[in-house]
Chains A and B, each alone.
Chain A
């Protein structure tokens, strides 16, 4: 039995690396070896794949806008999630008294972390896009109606929706980190005459900082790969311009944007993969996997640094 369960571990590790190798091989094969559909040399081809104009018909070129779109989405989301999530976690574990309703809220938030993203997506569509967006349009962009400005899926609403998806995740992670800080620290700080906020921000938070960051990074990683809400609140197959601008705040919040995951999903809708399409799909998938993988590794090593500080339990 031990052998069997040990083999399961090996199997899972093998599956993981196998999938990765599959992607790398397909992408590499296409980029380096095959001649479809471009004739050009490797560098030109790389240039085509990343920086040429996106091909509306069937992909194969111009990944850059999708990468930019993905990154700006994740950044805007983090902008919302980080302060709100951390503040809520601090409230729940440092400020709120331990009553039945704080317990209820804590449990609810833990469970919301397990609610599927598509649910947040439909909320995002109903509330942000049609509700808030409609209001904003009616108030500020009435001249452009009936064609909607904010009352249609766009970067801001997608970011807000993803923020909602990830808020529970961040709150749970940070709350756990804060709970793990020993009470002695708080008592010592208060005994030295520190105020509540000084205790929280100067004594407790520094100790919990690694878990705060690893929670945030994990949320970011999750957001980068989460596509289902985007089907409802934002991403498009092809957007004529990047969601960036040269004027402050440098991001066009109302714009639709391209997204790596959505590009991948979109490839499904091609009736038939064009020549070289498999390599194209592998390229997108690989970039996405690498992006998320890097974020995950960062979070994991942060967490490992925390765990190293804890002593190992002796079984005897």
Chain B
């Protein structure tokens, strides 16, 4: 009998350990798995000689097609996507538009070049002058009248013994062969890391067969194959974070365009606009949520009796019964279509709120309602409910009528006339709805922190003749302040990771604009929208995982710091 009980105990213990280790392993393994998926994006580019092209993805293009960019032979050449390149060796190069044939921009190119090749997405030109390789490209959008400019991006020092050169069909990468039978690949994006392979035969022609396959030919016509493997960021993690001068863009920019509209253009993976969007949304949300939730927390934590508190806390928690997808839908279908009016009303309410709320207290007390005894504050929220309703109604009406009196007749029209247009999907709406979503979280944590401070401290202050507000302000709230800050941090983490509201309301435009009337694109929304479409092994997929890890790290760190603060507050309060 005793043995059986012992056996049962031990086996149950084992079962529990097994289950919990599985869980712990799964949760911690999650991070590792994500790192494993994301890691290859940071791999350096490689160049490798192979015997047959089997297993190398990408269609083979004919030699003739890829040859037509050889400028040394021609004086006139038409590029594929509608731009012309004119000239001859020794003459200035001229870029014109092929439909009108009006020269749009003339640029003096080095006249003493030996080889020139198109590179990248038909917008770039690699020119070998002496022993330097120069990279030029178009930029369409800067100059006035949309006149494209030709700009020199980068100059790379290479050997002077280059015999053949070929530009990568998609990226700013060139491959060339030297007279000493060396095959080199230079990535203009990361020019210090050039790849080279020594071969033992003479090479006189080099061709990109596909974005990852190079074919080099000997004078006798034998072909050598090389595989070029590079992630879309060329193995340079800084490209995720720093501004980049992309082909076709006038200046260095932060761009998130993983699936550019032109099929062969270089995908652009700057995570900065997304991080910017995430922070912007989260901070706006805090702006709305912090006063509201901390106000609630202070009231419930300080002035409510235990019994009442047990009723009101869950009531406020009921806001979590509105899942974020519902909040997003409400924002999208009910608020966004009338955003101008909503905003006018909101401004009115916010402006009137403090005034009327304070006045209202005097009204409530001044009416001499006997039950509002000096310290018994339990019922205030309920008693104030009609008043708040009134404030909201009056404030909204005031806001609306105020807006109607603006020149233009509405807030939108007025803002538009002063040069600000409210886009349908704007950050402000995201902030408001997101703020609502994180209010219960902040409230709950902050209230806990306040409530944890022993009430006899406040009683001490009250016994010295403080008003309830003075007592709590001077004694309780300073102790709870770190806890309240922790609450805000957790709320921030929530807001930064929230997905549905952002997907539905932010417009998902990856612009970096401080204006609260513009849309934004957040990391979370990008993950939700792009990951299902991204091929499993693509750079895009990997970059998305990197962003997932960034978001994970952000929330994890914020939560950890908040947790540490909370633990310290708890220790401190326990000692009182």
Contacts and interface: CB of A to CB of B under 8 A. Distances in A.
Interface of A: 1-16, 19, 22-23, 26, 83-85, 87-88, 90-92, 95, 105, 107-112, 114-123, 125-127, 130-131, 153, 164, 167-168, 171, 195-198, 200-201, 221-222, 224-228, 231-232, 261, 264-265, 267-268, 273, 278, 281, 285, 288-289, 292-293, 296-297, 300, 303-304, 307, 312-313, 315-316
Interface string B480-510: 0000000000100110111110011000000
B560 A91 contact: no
Contact of A12 (B292, B323, B504): B292
B19 A84 contact: yes
Given A11-B388, A12-B439, A261-B325, A6 B299 contact: yes
A107 B26 CA distance: 16
- Across the A-B interface, the 3 shortest Cβ-Cβ residue pairs: A116-B497, A225-B323, A8-B295
A294 B79 CA distance: 65
B323 A292 contact: yes
Contacts of A109: 24, 27
B30 interface: yes
A313 B391 contact: no
B23 A119 contact: no
A119 B532 contact: no
A84 B22 contact: yes
Contacts of A5: 295-296, 298-299, 302-303
Interface string B21-56: 011101110100110010000000000000000000
A315 B375 CA distance: 14
Contacts of B397: none
Contacts of A267: 329, 333
B385 A13 contact: yes
B175 interface: no
Contacts, number: 314
Given A2-B377, A164-B27, A227-B500, A19 B532 contact: no
B498 A197 contact: no
Contact of B23 (A13, A85, A221): A85
Contacts of B34: 119, 122-123, 126
Interface of B is mostly: helix
A293 B384 contact: no
Contacts of B469: 1-2
Contacts of A6: 299, 303, 357, 361, 377, 380-381, 384
Nearest to B36: A126
Nearest to B562: A114
B388 A7 contact: yes
Given A6-B377, A84-B23, A198-B9, A265 B527 contact: no
B500 A122 contact: no
Contacts of A105: 24
Given A2-B299, A2-B303, A315 B458 contact: yes
Interface in B542-564: 544-545, 548, 551-552, 555-556, 558-560, 563
B312 interface: yes
A96 B358 CA distance: 53
B80 interface: no
B321 A119 contact: no
Contacts of B334: 22, 26, 278
Interface stretch (B10-18, B107-115, B155-163, B249-257): B10-18
B94 interface: no
Given A167-B26, A201-B12, A267-B333, 13 more contacts: A3-B357, A6-B377, A6-B384, A10-B388, A15-B436, A111-B559, A121-B528, A164-B27, A167-B27, A197-B9, A265-B328, A289-B322, A292-B322
A224 B330 CA distance: 18
Nearest to B505: A268
B35 to A, nearest CB: 11
Contacts of A13: 315-316, 381, 385
A193 B314 CA distance: 41
Interface of B: 5-6, 8-9, 12-13, 15-17, 19-20, 22-24, 26-28, 30, 33-34, 37, 291-293, 295-296, 298-300, 302-303, 306-307, 310, 312, 314-330, 332-334, 353-354, 357-358, 360-361, 377, 380-382, 384-385, 387-389, 391-392, 436, 439, 443, 454-456, 458-459, 468-469, 473, 490, 493-494, 496-500, 503-504, 524, 527-529, 531-532, 536, 544-545, 548, 551-552, 555-556, 558-560, 563
A8 B558 CA distance: 26
B290 to A, nearest CB: 11
Contacts of B353: 4, 7, 11
A10 B381 contact: yes
17 contacts: A6-B361, A8-B295, A12-B319, A19-B330, A119-B497, A119-B548, A121-B527, A126-B33, A168-B27, A198-B5, A225-B322, A265-B503, A268-B332, A292-B321, A312-B307, A313-B306, A313-B454
Contacts of A87: 15-16, 19-20, 23
A25 to B, nearest CB: 11
Nearest to A292: B321
A313 B33 CA distance: 48
A112 B443 CA distance: 20
Contact of A228 (B387, B391, B528): B528
B555 A95 contact: no
Contacts of B325: 225, 227, 261, 264-265, 288
B37 A228 contact: no
A288 to B, nearest CB: 6
Contacts of A167: 23, 26-27
Contact of A126 (B315, B387, B545): B545
Of the listed residues A3, A22, A87, A127, the one surrounded by the most CB atoms of chain B closer than 10 A to its CB is A3
A111 B563 contact: yes
A232 B559 contact: no
Contacts of B459: 315-316
Contact of B385 (A4, A14, A23, A110): A14
B541 to A, nearest CB: 8
B384 A7 contact: yes
B503 to A, nearest CB: 7
Most B CB atoms within 10 A — which of A6, A110, A127?
A: A6
A107 B388 contact: no
A267 B325 CA distance: 11
B525 to A, nearest CB: 9
Nearest to B8: A197
Contact of A307 (B23, B310, B357, B436): B310
Given A116-B555, A197-B8, A197-B12, A9 B300 contact: yes
Contacts of A3: 357-358, 360-361, 380, 384
A126 B37 contact: yes
Contacts of B299: 2, 5-6, 8-9
A8 B455 CA distance: 22
Contacts of A22: 330, 334
Contacts of B321: 221, 225, 289, 292-293, 296
A313 B456 CA distance: 10
Nearest to A83: B19
A107 B17 contact: no
A115 B354 CA distance: 35
Contacts of B323: 224-227, 261, 288-289, 292
- By CB atoms of chain A within 10 A, which of B8, B19, B20, B291 has the most? B20
A127 B330 contact: no
B524 A118 contact: yes
Contacts of A9: 295-296, 299-300, 312, 316, 380-381
A14 B392 contact: yes
B30 A19 contact: no
